[in-house]
Chain A
Amino acid sequence: MDAVLLARLQFALNISFHILFPTITIALAWVLLFFRWRWLATGAASWLSAYRFWTKVFALSFALGVVSGITMSFQFGSNWPGFMERAGNIAGPLLGYEVLTAFFLEASFLGVMLFGHGRVSERVHLIATALVAGGTTLSAFWILSLNSWMQTPQGFEIIQGEFHAKDWLEVIFNPSFPYRLAHKLLASGLTVAFLLAGVSAWQLLKQRVQPHTGAVLRVGLTLAAVLIPLQIFMGDQHGLNTLKHQPQKVAAMEGLWETERGAPLLLFAWPNEQTRRNDYAIEIPRLASLILTHEADGELRGLNEFQGAHPPVAPVFFAFRVMVGMGLAMLAASWLAWWLYRRRGWRPEELPRPLLRLLAWMSFSGWVATLAGWYVTEIGRQPFLVYGWLRTAELASATPAPTIALSLAGYASLYLGLLLAYVMVVKTMAEKTAAAEPVAPVNFNRRVAA
């Protein structure tokens, strides 16, 4: 294998591993803030115990996100030195602002949040939790701004082959950024919603019920039931935006070779890049045009218009289907479960076991959808690194292939080990019952006092 492919694989591996953890921490931080605030407001110990338990999951996810994030910051330079040399004037400051405004904020106040009980006042502790939540979201803001700029670049000029910023506001708020940010934040919310619901359901199944299990299940299901329709709407908007700016990505998602009016939606197919057609296609007439252009005979441009400059079709095509399929499964599961749970008076012990089992299996469903969506976005941008301007292959490192292969093997085994350990530890923590949890005294509790 050549060095470029290896460098790509390595970066893809890192980014795939990394994205799992911010996807959890971004939304979980806000959920923790909610738990923390509910505890202050109601004085119910179950909120404190929910906060304590999920803080541990947060700390673990945060640690994995930090260490893999550090790795990524190095890999920008070591795998794609050409990217920083050519686009560094734009990418650099955006990454820099992420570190300066978000990374330090999260990392510093996480210490207070995790270890500060008894050392700082309730109020300062609540503020620390809020700052960590704000930091994670700010972090997403900057990273997605850069990522979106690479997809829909604007606000720059090119002088001697290098990108130079002309208008920073145009760079930051590039055309796909609002959609991408909203889509990602919702994805994070859904991932956490299903994790909350899944772990709680699993605890109910295994009789590892803690004081907070029912409440957390309710929070998770409500969050999931509310966020999934929003996400479907946002996904549609994001798709329209992509069609406008990156038609070949959409053509790959849809497996559409020829430009046509009234394009069919492919339920299943095997896109074949040799013959440039789909094998084994099962299709619904006109539906793709209807979804994407909101007109039954709207015109969609096909891949053949972009020969030599469109992404590899099959991975984008399948990843897109996995993402959408997972979204629909989330819709069905969360609405069914929420409805049943509400009908039975929010009594978790009355939920049917098959439903709990389904939710438990879906604990990490957010990861699957996120990864699939990420592949659609990132593979869909190929063969460019900066869409329409810089080709990935031009920017690779001069590091010899065997060296990259060696580090790739190292990273792959380490990541696999860490991922297994992560899932195992979450399971172990869920199994530890609440008996050992000390409940701190509530100092000032307006509502109970009143």
Chain B
Amino acid sequence: MSAEQWMPLVFMALMGFALLLYVVLDGYDLGVGLLMLGASDADKDRMIASIGPFWDANETWLVLGVGVLLIAFPKAQGVVMQALYLPIVLMLMGLMLRGVAFDFRVKVQAEWKPLWNRAFMGGSLLAALAQGWMLGRYVTAFQPGGLFDAFALLIALALTAAYLLLGATWLIMKTEALLQQRAIRLAKRAWPLLLLGLAAISVATPWLSPTVRERWFTMPGFIALLPIPLTSALALLALRGLLNSSRIVGKLCWAPFALMVLVMLLGFFGLAYSLYPYVVMDRITVWQAAAAPKSLQFILVGCAITVPAILAYTAFAYRVFWGKAGELSYA
């Protein structure tokens, strides 16, 4: 394979990897933001403390994902960005409100704190819904029509449910006592929502997209792909079972979160398989959209050096803050 052929694939993989990490990492902290609704003031502080050291870096994966789109696929980014103009604006406003509310809420005078708490929750919700909507529009190649909008709405709700469950399982892992109990209750409530969403998407996607239908339901590919939905279903069932077990307040507190990450990972592979090799579904392939080989080469060298370093110090940061979240110490 020549460099012109494989380099765009490497960047496609990198973009996918960055977006997957984004959805998992910012997913849990967006979920925690959603779950703050109805929490006591002390719990809110504790929940923020559980995500405080991480959210900045989590959000950076989104910048890298978009960055790769701009850098490696300049001929597709215009189509994608313009088709998603308004949801992007809404998502950015959500992320902005949330990102600053994080800091503002503990620094303002007491009477303003509830306002910034609401901004935090509202921003999280707006960002989650907008991201799901964009995913829905993207998968169906931005086709106009009520049916496609309804599908996008469905994905928006399903992704929000996934974030809720991720956030709840994160809290089960990072908190103790009453807050942990509350997280378990919320996880139980989010679980059927996610299941419903996933089931609906599994039916709707192949129905709406001939490409996806053909990919998934042709022998022998169908059998080869079966492990993906089957493992996802098993993981979700195991997750639900664990939520009833008393062991997740103790040693197994990490297991529900790990299972959710597995489900997201499988969903990602399913999605990648449905899309490949398109950057814009049915319209622009990775090779058509790719930047000049010389530019790809230049940035690839940088990626080869920096991405492992980034992963290493990300791992370091997670190790530093391993274990249960402490008090919200800086204010």
Interface residues of A (CB under 8 A from B): 55-56, 59-60, 62-64, 66-71, 73-74, 76-78, 81-82, 84-85, 88-93, 95-97, 99-101, 103-112, 114-117, 119-120, 162, 164-165, 168, 397-399, 403, 406-407, 410-411, 414, 418, 421, 424-425, 428-429
B72's nearest neighbour on chain A, judged by CB, is A92
| A99–B63 alpha-carbon span in the complex (Å) | 7
Does B212 sit within 8 A of A, measured CB to CB?
Answer: no
* B267 CB-CB contact with A under 8 Å: no
In the assembled complex, B80 has its CB within 8 A of some CB on chain A: yes
Q: Are B74 and A74 in contact (CB under 8 A)?
A: no
Once the chains are docked, how many angstroms separate the CA of A91 from the CA of B70?
A: 9
Closest chain-A Cβ to B320's Cβ sits at a distance in Å of: 5
B57 touches A107 (CB 8 A): yes
A-B contact pairs, 13 of them (CB 8 A): A70-B62, A77-B70, A77-B80, A78-B81, A88-B71, A95-B67, A107-B59, A111-B56, A111-B57, A165-B295, A403-B85, A428-B108, A428-B109
Q: Is the interface of A mostly helix, strand, loop or mixed?
A: helix
Which residue from chain B places its CB closest to the CB of A86 in the assembled complex? Answer: B74
Asked if A84 and B77 sit within 8 Å, CB to CB, the answer is: yes
* A82-B78, A93-B295 as given contacts; A66 in contact with B99, CB under 8 Å: yes
- The residue in chain A whose Cβ has the minimal distance to the Cβ of B98 is A67
Task: Tell which of A71, A82, A162, A425 touches B104, judged by Cβ atoms closer than 8 Å.
Answer: A425
B62/A92 in contact, CB under 8 A: no
Instruction: Say yes or no: B317 contacts A67, CB within 8 Å.
Output: no
In the bound assembly, the distance between CA atoms of A74 and B96 in angstroms comes to: 13
Neighbouring B residues of A119 by C-beta, 8 Å: 320-321
Known: A74-B66, A77-B81, A81-B78. A100 touches B59 (CB 8 A): no
Is B70 within 8 A of A67, CB to CB? Answer: no
Q: Which residues of B contact A (CB under 8 A)?
A: 49, 52-54, 56-57, 59-60, 62-64, 66-72, 74-75, 77-78, 80-82, 84-86, 88-89, 92-93, 95-97, 99-100, 102-104, 107-109, 291-292, 294-295, 298-299, 302-303, 306-307, 310, 313-314, 316-317, 320-321, 329-330
Q: Which residue of B has the minimal Cβ distance to A74?
A: B88
CB of A78 within 8 A of CB of B75, answer: no
CB of B261, distance to nearest CB on chain A (Å): 19
CB distance from B155 to the nearest CB of A (A): 20
The answer to whether A425 and B307 touch across the interface, beta carbons within 8 angstroms, is no
Q: Are B78 and A84 in contact (CB under 8 A)?
A: yes
- In whole angstroms, how far apart are the Cα atoms of A165 and B97 in the complex? 38
CB–CB B67/A96 < 8 A: yes
Which residue of B67, B93, B104 contacts A410 across the interface (Cβ within 8 Å)?
B93
Distance, CA A225 to CA B109, complexed state (A): 34
Enumerate chain A residues within 8 angstroms of B72, measured Cβ to Cβ. Answer: 92
CA distance A19 to B329 in the complex (A): 29
Given B66, B70, B317, which contacts A112 in the complex, CB threshold below 8 Å?
A: B317
Which one of A73, A85, A90 lies within 8 Å of B63 (CB-CB)? A73
Q: Which of these, A64, A88, A115, A406, contacts B53 with CB under 8 Å? A: A115
**Complex interface: chain A residues within 8 A of B298 (CB):** 93, 165, 168
- Let me know if A70 and B89 touch, CB within 8 A: no
Query: Which residues does chain A contribute within 8 Å of B78, judged by CB atoms?
Result: 77, 81-82, 84-85, 397
Given A407-B89, A410-B93, A414-B93, decide whether A164 and B109 contact each other with a Cβ distance below 8 A. Answer: no
B67 near A99 with CB under 8 A, answer yes
The residue that A92 contacts in the complex, of B63, B291, B307, with Cβ under 8 A, is B291
Q: Chain B residues with Cβ under 8 A from A90's Cβ?
A: 295
Nearest neighbor of B313 in chain A, beta-carbon distance: A108
Q: Is the CB–CB distance between B74 and A96 below 8 Å?
A: no
In the complex where A97-B302, A107-B57, A428-B107 touch, is A74 in contact with B307 (Cβ < 8 A)?
A: no
Across the interface, which residues of B come within 8 angstroms of A429, CB to CB?
A: 107
Q: Are B82 and A397 in contact (CB under 8 A)?
A: yes
Which of chain B's residues have a CB closer than 8 A to the CB of A106?
56
Instruction: Compute how far the CA of A70 lies from the CA of B77 in the bound complex, rounded to whole angstroms.
Output: 16
Q: How far is the CA of A403 from the CA of B84 in the complex (A)?
A: 12
For the complex formed, measure the closest distance between the CB of B100 and the CB atoms of chain A, giving whole angstroms. 5
Complex contact A410–B89 (CB within 8 A): yes
In the complex, A78 Cα to B92 Cα: how many Å?
Answer: 12
Q: For B93, what are the chain A residues with a Cβ–Cβ distance below 8 Å?
A: 410-411, 414
A67-B95, A112-B53 given as contacts; is B108 within 8 A of A424 (CB)?
Answer: yes
- Do the beta carbons of B108 and A425 come within 8 Å of each other? yes
